[in-house]
């Protein structure tokens, strides 16, 4: 079962040869989202740890792929955020190549993985989100059965806006998006339930 409070940092990879081989005894849950979507805050909430994942008010700080062991059988994989224009073109290219190589290395039937795709509720679905999702779907990285959407920062938006975002995302997967907030714990129980279910 997914247990919170015992999570730990396993690996930090800034290039392909630093990425650990897939551990068949565990399942990887990949966390994807735009810069400043709230990935680190969400990971800390999920794991009941204030400083497990580094949080910053400046987008684009996460430049590596970070692996966290959050239970004996689940590894959370925090990918660098996409779509931050103030990061140099070279850095964006380097991150893109690293992420692409990692994702393609996991795209084998014997490597079961799942995707938590985070969407910023405050800004809604952005052009960069659509671009990332198009790439992930076209390369068979995510599909209707292995991806769950999480709408973050729900405390900052109105219900009708949440409903519109949810309706759009429901067209992509078979599951309803999880409405979440790292600020007031909304949706954390549901995300932990998702992690338990994949076991």
Alpha-carbon distance of 111 to 76, in angstroms, equals 14
Alpha-carbon distance of 124 to 149, in angstroms, equals 13
What pLDDT was estimated at residue 117? 92
Alpha-carbon distance of 144 to 125, in angstroms, equals 18
Q: CB of 54 within 8 A of CB of 139?
A: no
What pLDDT was estimated at residue 135? 82
Cα distances (Å, whole numbers) of residue 156 to 124, 179, 186: 11, 12, 12
Phi, psi of 53 (to 5 degrees): -105, 140
What pLDDT was estimated at residue 191? 92
Domain 8-197 has CATH 1.20.144.10: no
Question: Which regions of the chain does DSSP assign to beta strands (E)?
Answer: 8-13, 27-33, 65-71, 74-78, 113-120, 147-152, 178-179
Q: CB of 136 within 8 A of CB of 32?
A: yes
Q: CB of 192 within 8 A of CB of 46?
A: yes
What pLDDT was estimated at residue 58? 47
- One pLDDT digit (tens) per residue for the chain, 199 residues: 555 567 888 888 888 888 888 887 888 999 999 888 999 889 988 888 877 877 554 444 557 889 998 888 889 999 888 865 555 566 556 667 888 888 888 776 667 688 899 999 999 999 888 888 888 888 778 777 788 899 999 998 888 888 889 888 877 777 789 999 988 999 999 998 888 887 7
Global pTM value: 0.85
């Amino acid at each position: 079962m997914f247990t919170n409070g015992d999570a730990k940092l396993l690996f930090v990879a800034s290039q392909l040869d630093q990425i650990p081989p897939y551990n068949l005894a565990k399942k990887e849950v990949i966390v994807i989202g735009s810069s400043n979507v709230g990935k680190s805050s969400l990971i800390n909430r999920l794991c009941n740890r204030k400083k497990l994942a580094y949080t910053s008010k400046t987008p684009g700080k996460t430049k590596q792929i970070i692996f966290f062991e959050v239970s004996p059988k689940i590894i959370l994989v925090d990918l660098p955020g996409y779509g931050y224009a103030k990061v140099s073109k070279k850095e964006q290219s380097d991150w893109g190549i690293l992420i692409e190589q990692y994702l393609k290395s996991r795209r084998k039937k014997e490597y079961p993985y799942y995707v938590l795709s985070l969407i910023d509720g405050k800004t809604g679905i952005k052009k960069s989100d659509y671009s990332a999702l198009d790439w992930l779907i076209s390369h068979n990285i995510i599909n209707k059965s292995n991806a769950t959407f999480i709408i973050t920062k729900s405390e900052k938006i109105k219900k009708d806006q949440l409903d519109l975002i949810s309706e759009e995302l429901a067209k992509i997967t078979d599951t309803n998006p999880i409405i979440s907030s790292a600020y007031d714990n909304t949706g954390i129980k549901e995300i932990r339930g998702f992690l338990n279910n994949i076991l």
